Structure 1
C-alpha cells in the first residue's frame, strides 16, 4: 500500500513538471506570434442604371404569355404535319424490325426501277423507293447498288419530331 502511495506521488510530480513546460511553451508561442489583419478593400461603388424598356412588353403580362403560346402552337403544328401522315397510314411488315436487324444483300433492276434485296431473319425481301424500313418511320428515298437511303422521323431531346437521313450499306462477302 505504501508502494502505491509513493508511486502516485511520483507520477503526480512528473505530471506537474510536464504541465509547466507545456504552459511555458504556449505562452512563449503566444507572445512571439504577431497577428496580421489584412485591411478590407473598399466596397465597389453602386452605379444605378436607367430603365430603358418602357416600350417593351412587360415580362409578366398576358401579352407575353400569348406570344409564347402562339410560338409553341406553331411548332406543334409543324410537328403534327410531319408525323400525322405516318400515324394514319397502314404499316408495312418490315417496319416491325429495327433498322440494325435489316441487312442489304443485293440489288437488281425490275421494270426499269432499282430494287434492293434485304435480309431479315434469314428471309430475303424486295424493297424499292417509297417502301418503309425500320421502326422510325423510315421511308426509302433512293436505292443504289451500294446501299439504301432512308428518311426517318424521330423525336429529338425536346420531344419534337424531326427528319433525319439514314443509310443501309450493301453487305459484301457475307453468307
Structure 2
C-alpha cells in the first residue's frame, strides 16, 4: 500500500510540474495564432461554357476500310511500287496472323529442301522458302535449322513502301 501511495504521489508531482509547461505551450500557441496572417489568393470565377454542335460527323472517316483499300490500290498502281505484285496475288492462310503470334518449333529436310514448322493457334504448319507469312506481305527467303528469314513490305514514316528483313527464331520447348 505504501508503494502505491508513493507511486501516486510521484505521479501527482510530475503532473504538477508539467502544468507549467502546458500553460507555457498554450500561451505560445495563442501568440502564434495572433501573429499568423494567412494569405489566400481569391479564386477566379469559372468561365462560361458554350457548347458547340459536332459538325464533323458527316465527314469522311479517315480510317474506313474502303478508304484504306482505295489508298492501297492507288499505291499498287504506281509502276515501281513494291505492292504491285503483292496486291494481285492470292493470299496464303498464314498471312492472316501477325508474326508475333507465330513460333518456329522445328525444321526438317524434305525432298532436299529445308522446311520449317510453325506453331500458330496451337496448330503446326509446314513452311518452305517462297511461302508468305504475317500481315506485312512477308515472304520466306531463307530457312535454317534455327531461324526463318523473311522479306516484308511495310510503309516508312514518309508513307513510302519499303522492304525490311525480319526473322523468326527457333523457340525452345519451355517457351
TM-score range with shorter-chain normalisation?
0.5 to 0.7
Q: 2:11 is matched with which residue?
A: none
CA RMSD of aligned residues (A): 2.0
Alpha-carbon separation, structure 2, partners of 1:107 and 1:160: 35
Matches within 5 A, 1:7-156: 80-156=80-156
Quickly say closer, same or farther: Cα 1:78–1:99, change in 2 above 3 A.
same
TM-score normalised according to structure 1 size:
0.54
The list of structure 1 runs, each at least 4 consecutive aligned residues, that deviate by more than 6 angstroms after superposition, is 76-79
The secondary structure found in structure 2 opposite 1:152 is strand
Quickly say closer, same or farther: Cα 1:107–1:159, change in 2 above 3 A.
same
Quickly say closer, same or farther: Cα 1:81–1:100, change in 2 above 3 A.
same
User: Deviation per CA, 1:128-170, whole angstroms, max 9, x where unpaired?
Assistant: 0000010000000000001000000000011100000000000
TM-score normalised according to structure 2 size:
0.54
The secondary structure found in structure 2 opposite 1:85 is helix
Gaps of 5+ in 1: 1-75
TM-aligned CA deviation for residue 113 of structure 1:
0.3
User: Is the 8 Å Cα contact of residues 129 and 140 (structure 2) preserved in structure 1?
Assistant: yes
User: Is the 8 Å Cα contact of residues 137 and 152 (structure 2) preserved in structure 1?
Assistant: yes
TM-aligned CA deviation for residue 90 of structure 1:
0.1
Highest CA radius of gyration, 1 or 2?
1
TM-aligned CA deviation for residue 82 of structure 1:
1.1
The secondary structure found in structure 2 opposite 1:90 is coil
The secondary structure found in structure 2 opposite 1:139 is strand
* 2:157 pairs with 1:172: no
Figure out how many residues of one structure are paired with residues of the other and give that number.
101
Alpha-carbon separation, structure 2, partners of 1:156 and 1:90: 24
